[in-house]
Structure 1
Amino acid sequence: MTPEQPSGQACASHQCITCGDVAVEVRVVRLLPDELAVVDTGAGQEQVSVALVSAAAGDTLLVHAGEAIAVVGK
């Protein structure tokens, strides 16, 4: 069975940034209101929370369970 994201969409890989058990590197495409960002996962775009980090477009983030936990590159 393929895991699903909270949106009901099937996860695209074993490294799903929403429901995976590991942190994944992603690139910020654009910031959104309410401490959210659209990120490029390499398999498509997803929305994540950036409430815990200071992120900008182009930054590389480490994301776990839909929450950015570190900025690892600019």
Structure 2
Amino acid sequence: MTPECAGPECVTCSDAAVPVRVSRLLPDGLALVEAAPGRTEEVSVALVDAGVGDVVLVHAGEAIAVVPDES
């Protein structure tokens, strides 16, 4: 049986994590992030200590790291 990819959340197709900015924290360890200009997505931030404005690396719908602010 071959796994099918239903979209960017498919963990069998890519090892890449995507940097996105947290725009709003939601209950239950979730957040809205700006995935592209004008496009938001809901992701889990349960594994990281992220706040509004932070850039996080997301893989398969899960934030796996907060990108350090270099300013």
Q: TM-score, normalised by structure 1?
A: 0.72
Structure 2: unaligned runs, 5 residues or longer: none
Kindly report the root-mean-square deviation, in angstroms, between the aligned alpha carbons of the 2 structures. 1.7
Alignment counterpart, residue 32 of structure 2, candidates 18, 34, 38: 38
Larger Rg: 2
Regions of 4+ moved over 4 Å: none
Q: Matched residues in 1 for 2:31 and 2:6: separation?
A: 20
Structure 1: unaligned runs, 5 residues or longer: 6-15
Q: Count residues in correspondence.
A: 61
Deviation at 1:73, TM superposition (A): 3.6
Q: Matched residues in 2 for 1:41 and 1:65: separation?
A: 13
Identity within the alignment, %: 57
Q: TM-score, normalised by structure 2?
A: 0.75
